[in-house]
Amino acid sequence: MSILSTTQALVMLALQSRMNSKVEAQWVSVRFPYLRAVVIEGAEAIEHHGWKWWKKQHCDLSQLQMELVDIWHFVLSELLIHTEDDQVLAVQKLLLVNITDVSCNVLRFDECDYDLDSLDLVSKLELLIGVSVARRVELGLFKSLMLDCQMDWDSLFRQYVSKNVLNFFRQDNGYKEGTYRKNWQGREDNEHLVEIMTLLNPEDENYPDLLYRELAKRYQL
């Protein structure tokens, strides 16, 4: 698995801080419950994976990955809250995920030891929900979830930047005011985003602008 680079960490934290400021200028002092959002996104990820043993279900890997990217937005926000938006300090905390001892396979929670290697993906998502309710950020658990979702740090970075563009698009089109339409042509905007991402080159220096324009084109149809 690739390691999280300093540049990637800095870029993502800067983008997240900018997004949070767009939603609420005083977001650091307001201290929104970002880990509560992780709880909800974790449940949505379980839905995309499928958990009902009494019926046949299909795991939608692309949407499952996107839910993990959504979770990452809120994890970054929580880290930035802890550092009072000091992004250099937040980078130092974030890069600990590259250290083996921090990404160890055993997580202690609620007086129980959980061996991540022995847990299935849905069980790890349940554990993520539990630690988030307890207001804990567990980077090792998130890294384990990434591996289960066939993601590395490079793919997370690309998908994070893409979803960040979508979040700005939402805000620019009335998301906070309640006038934004999340469903277009019978599909959620997340699904359109995943499809558009396959059509564009993420290495293109104009990738964010191209992605934004394609979202705007579809939104107007």
| pLDDT for the residue 100 | 54
**What is the model's pTM?**
0.85
- Would you say 7 and 88 are in contact if contact means Cβ atoms under 8 Å apart? no
Helix or strand run (H / E) with residue 107: strand 106-109
Backbone angles phi, psi at 174, to 5 degrees: 90, 25
Say what the pLDDT of residue 104 is: 60
For the residues 90-107, what does the mean pLDDT come to? 80
Band (pLDDT 50/70/90 cuts) for residue 109 is very high
User: Cα angle vertex 84, ends 10, 131, to 5°?
Assistant: 85
- Planar angle of CA 68, 4, 13, nearest 5 degrees: 70
Residue 194 is predicted with a pLDDT of 87
As a residue count, the chain comes to 221
Res. 23: pLDDT tops 80: yes
d(CA 105, CA 113): 10
Residue 103 has pLDDT above 50, yes or no: no
pLDDT in tens, 45-82: 999 999 999 998 899 998 899 899 999 999 999 999 99
Q: What is the pLDDT of residues 38-49, one digit of tens each?
A: 999 999 999 999
**Does residue 217 register a pLDDT over 90?**
yes
- 198-221: string of b/e by CB count within 10 Å (b at 16+)? eeeeeeeeebbebbbebbeebbee
Q: Is the pLDDT of residue 161 over 70?
A: yes
Tokens of 99: 């250290």
**What is the rounded average pLDDT of the residues 111-121?**
94
Helix (DSSP H) and strand (DSSP E) numbers for the chain: 10, 4
Tell me what the pLDDT averaged over the chain comes to: 92
Please list, in sequence order, all residues whose beta carbon lies within 8 angstroms of the beta carbon of residue 81, skipping any fewer than 6 positions away: 28, 31, 34
Look at residue 207 in the predicted model and tell me its pLDDT. 84
Give the residue-averaged pLDDT of 21-46: 96
Q: How many CB atoms lie within 10 A of CB 52?
A: 8
Is the model more confident about 122 or about 197? 122
d(Cα 178, Cα 70) in Å, to the nearest integer?
20
